[in-house]
Amino acid sequence: MKRLIIVLFSALLIFAAALPLRSYAEDGIEDEITAEVDDILSAYDTGYSLGDTAGLSFSGFFGLIRERTVSRLTAPLRLLGTIILLSVLYSVFRSITSGGSAMSGSGLFGMISVMTAVTAIVPPLLGVYSSSLEAIRVTAGFMLVYVPVFAGITAFSGGLASAGIYHMMILAASELLLKLSGSYLLPVLTVCTVLSVSGSVFPNSSSEGIVRVLKKVITLVISLTATLFSSFLSLKCTIAGKADSAGDKTIKMLLSGSVPVIGGAVSDAYSTVKCSLGVIRSTVGAAGIIAIAVLLLPPVIELLAYRLVMWIGTAAAELFSASPIAGLLRSIDDGLSIAQCVMTAQCGMLMICTAIFINAAE
């Protein structure tokens, strides 16, 4: 009786394995995942689909970034021309005025020059701060939709432990960064701008020193936090990936040993399906990394362009002895460096952690 049950069970498994169902199931899963990921990429206007990821070269990736960045660089160039013109006018009018204290660089003439520069610099500066905060919000929203899909594919392909850790920690980090940026980043940048203006109008005040201290403290805290978070997540994902790998080997051993006659074939079929899902997971992960770069790199490049304008403008102001304008530009650059540090930390942290998760879950 026992042999009859084994023979019947083996015949049933052979018959089930002979049915042409596997390819249709794989195609259905892949089409469903592709459609869902394409919807996410389209909703956030990334400019490419999941199918474009495999054949995307570095020049193609650079083209995506360039298309989204070129329109942002016209305002910094205009601002640079305005700053250089103000520095030249400051030097000209100071040379033709008398040497009275009322018209010296630290008096009324310096105050008028600084306020004129402020009216030209602050509006685009607040605009780039707002666009940076909006980029952080959009990226956090993208991660809120993308991470469950990516982690779900990983869990479905056998990476339960690593998928759970990545899902929990990345979503928590994105939400925390969004809350902190929405509540503190823009107010801090606004305060830095105000202190920069007051420090230039009143050179004897300590406003410029306060801005410099804020920059150093915030940059240090963000850099240290991002480094520790990335290191901790890498360690946890690596350990979880080893546990998933051990579980995968156990499953294949059980399939090979417990299923009579065709246990080895069933184990090989399981490995084939898992590898197919791994390819899909890696493609989705690469698409997510590219999307993060497309969303965050353009505002980072815009901030860098404004910083270059501040550096060149400071050099021009010092060349024409426009010390109040040079002090204003140095202080504003400190505020820009804070925004750039936040954006770069978010971009690097999400991209690096996702890349590490892809490798750890192999």
pLDDT (0 to 100) of residue 178: 80
How high is the pLDDT of residue 206? 66
Of the chain, the percentage scoring pLDDT greater than 70 comes to 74
Which of 43-57, 149-163, 232-246, 319-333 holds the top average pLDDT? Answer: 319-333
Q: Compute the distance between CA of residue 310 and CA of residue 122 in angstroms, rounded to an integer.
A: 12
Convert the pLDDT of each residue in 219-278 to its tens digit.
888 888 888 888 888 777 777 766 666 666 665 666 555 655 555 665 666 566 667 777
- Distance, CA of 16 to CA of 10 (rounded, Å): 10
Q: What pTM was computed for the model?
A: 0.79
What's the rounded mean pLDDT across residues 145-171? Answer: 79
In this model, does residue 138 exceed pLDDT 80?
Answer: yes
Contact 266, 254 (CB under 8 A): no
> Mean pLDDT, the chain, as a whole number?
77
| Beta carbons of 128 and 302 less than 8 angstroms apart | yes
Average pLDDT for residues 330-358, to the nearest whole number? 86
What DSSP string runs through 199-238?
A: HHHSTTSSHHHHHHHHHHHHHHHHHHHHHHHHHHHHHHHH
Of 280, 243, 236, 224, which is closest to residue 32 (Cα–Cα)?
280
Residue from 327, 96, 103 nearest 200 by CA: 327
- Count how many residues are written for the chain: 362
Helices 263-319, 22-43: axis angle to 10 degrees equals 20
pLDDT tens by residue, 249-260: 665 666 555 655
pLDDT digits (tens, 9 = 90+) for 35-62: 888 888 888 887 777 877 767 777 777 8
Q: What's the Cα-to-Cα distance from 225 to each of 290, 346, 347, rounded to whole Å?
A: 23, 11, 14
Contact 219, 333 (CB under 8 A): no
Domain range summary for the chain, segments of one domain joined by +: 56-360
What's the token pair of residue 37?
């990921």
Q: What is the pLDDT of residues 109-130, one digit of tens each?
A: 667 777 888 888 888 888 898 8
Q: What's the pLDDT band for 310 if we cut at 50, 70, 90? A: very high
Q: Coil, strand or helix: which one is 45?
A: coil
Question: 191-229 burial, b for 16+ CB within 10 Å, e for fewer?
Answer: ebbebbbebbbeeeeebbebbbebbeebbeebeeebeeb
Question: CB–CB of 113/203 below 8 Å?
Answer: no
* pLDDT band (50, 70, 90) for residue 1: low
